[in-house]
């Protein structure tokens, strides 16, 4: 019996757990859940006989891979795989996959929800502003960016995007204006929404120089990764400009300083929750389970990222 471990510090919704279990039961696989575990030692102990692993933002390091001699495949139920040491996985002969697009609507809805929350002064009852007629710049037009564009249009926003990896034609086909100059997009927009992955090219790329290009009164929205922000630059822009606002689903390490001095111009969710919906958990969890079965039964590696 193929042994699958679902290791999630942040557990899937109950319905997703049930559906994942059903899929593996029907396929004749053994599936165990390790939820809300405390530290890497617990994960190390649990992976010892696992042949397949489903994770979320759980960290898969060389140490974990060394503790899992039977492991053949890790599926990150979600989009970003910066939590997996890809080269270590490759050298252990482990395939790493993600489930692109499966949780993107949930993240996009949160981005727009946070924008409304900020525009309405954290729902404090004082007059705020509307999203209608405002210009939104989407940085990276992948699955989440595309959903953000769709929802923002429903709000009556003017939507544009910057993404050198996506064809101009396909972005324009969504009725979204294309920017080839990122600084110009920052200068023109009332809202900038980040949807870039965290990698060697993007880490700390949202820096003081770029932020200082932002339009007066603009809001930066981050539902991507905290690592893409240069936090010193972020603090400096808050200090320099009393019109700058930052709302994020991934609080910066200097959260306390920013919240203390600029409370009305920032908002951070208590815990990363962009993909925390039953629907997103079901979609990503089922996709991950099916990808594992397709891998073992048919050698399918369509979603391999290493």
List residues binding ligand 3PG (CB under 6 A): 10, 56-57, 78-80, 103, 272, 274-275
Nearer to ligand 3PG by C-beta: 143 or 265?
A: 143
Nearer to ligand 3PG by C-beta: 118 or 222?
A: 222
Q: Tell me phi and psi for residue 11, to 5 degrees.
A: -65, 155
**Residue 286 Cβ, how far from ligand 3PG at the closest point, in Å?**
14
Nearer to ligand 3PG by C-beta: 103 or 118?
A: 103
**Residue 146 Cβ, how far from ligand 3PG at the closest point, in Å?**
15
Q: Tell me phi and psi for residue 32, to 5 degrees.
A: -120, 150
**Residue 81 Cβ, how far from ligand 3PG at the closest point, in Å?**
8
Residue 179 CB neighbours (<10 A): 21
Measured in residues, the chain has a length of 306
Tokens of 205: 């790329």
**Residue 193 Cβ, how far from ligand 3PG at the closest point, in Å?**
14
What's the order of all strands across the beta sheet hosting 191-194?
A: 177-178, 158-162, 135-139, 191-194, 219-222, 245-248, 266-268
**Residue 242 Cβ, how far from ligand 3PG at the closest point, in Å?**
31
Nearer to ligand 3PG by C-beta: 2 or 291?
A: 291
**Residue 281 Cβ, how far from ligand 3PG at the closest point, in Å?**
8
Q: CA 100 to CA 286: how far, in whole Å?
A: 12
DSSP reduced 3-state for 115: helix
**Residue 278 Cβ, how far from ligand 3PG at the closest point, in Å?**
13
Q: Which one, of 33, 44, 35, lies nearest residue 4 by Cα?
A: 33
Nearer to ligand 3PG by C-beta: 11 or 233?
A: 11
Nearer to ligand 3PG by C-beta: 15 or 180?
A: 15
Which residues does residue 177 pair with via DSSP β-bridges, in sequence order? 160
Q: Tell me phi and psi for residue 234, to 5 degrees.
A: -65, -45
Output the residue with the shortest Cβ distance to ligand 3PG: 78
**Residue 5 Cβ, how far from ligand 3PG at the closest point, in Å?**
16
Nearer to ligand 3PG by C-beta: 9 or 235?
A: 9
Q: CA 114 to CA 259: how far, in whole Å?
A: 16
| Non-local CB neighbours of 130 within 8 Å, separated by 6+ positions | 119
Query: What is Dmax (Cα atoms) for the chain?
Result: 61
Q: CA 120 to CA 291: how far, in whole Å?
A: 42
Nearer to ligand 3PG by C-beta: 109 or 188?
A: 109
Q: CA 221 to CA 145: how far, in whole Å?
A: 12
């Amino acid at each position: 019996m193929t042994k699958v471990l679902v290791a999630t510090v942040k557990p899937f919704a109950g319905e997703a757990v049930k559906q994942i279990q059903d899929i593996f039961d029907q396929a004749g696989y053994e599936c165990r859940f390790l939820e809300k575990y405390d530290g890497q030692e617990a994960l190390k102990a649990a992976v010892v006989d696992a042949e397949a692993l489903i994770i979320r933002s759980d960290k898969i390091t060389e140490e974990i891979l060394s503790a899992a001699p039977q492991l053949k495949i890790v599926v990150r139920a979600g989009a970003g795989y910066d939590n997996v040491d890809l080269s270590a996985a490759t050298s252990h002969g482990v395939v790493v996959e993600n489930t692109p697009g499966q949780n993107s609507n949930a993240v996009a809805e949160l981005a727009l929800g946070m924008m409304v929350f900020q525009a309405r002064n954290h729902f404090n009852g004082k007059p705020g502003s509307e999203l209608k007629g405002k210009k939104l710049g989407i940085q990276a037009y992948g699955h989440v960016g595309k959903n953000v564009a769709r929802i923002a249009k429903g709000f009556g926003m003017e939507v544009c995007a910057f993404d050198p990896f996506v064809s101009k034609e396909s972005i324009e086909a969504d009725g979204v204006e294309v920017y080839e100059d990122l600084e110009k997009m920052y200068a023109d927009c009332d809202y900038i929404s980040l949807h870039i992955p965290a990698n060697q090219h993007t880490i700390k790329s949202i820096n003081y120089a770029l932020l200082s290009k932002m339009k007066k009164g603009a809001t930066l929205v981050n539902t991507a990764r905290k690592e893409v922000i240069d936090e010193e630059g972020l603090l400096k822009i808050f200090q320099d400009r009393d019109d700058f606002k930052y709302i994020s689903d991934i609080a910066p390490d200097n959260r306390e300083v920013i919240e203390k001095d600029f409370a009305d111009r920032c908002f951070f969710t208590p815990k990363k929750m962009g993909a925390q919906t039953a629907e997103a958990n079901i979609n990503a969890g089922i996709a991950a389970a099916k990808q594992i079965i397709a891998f073992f039964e048919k050698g399918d590696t369509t979603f391999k990222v290493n």
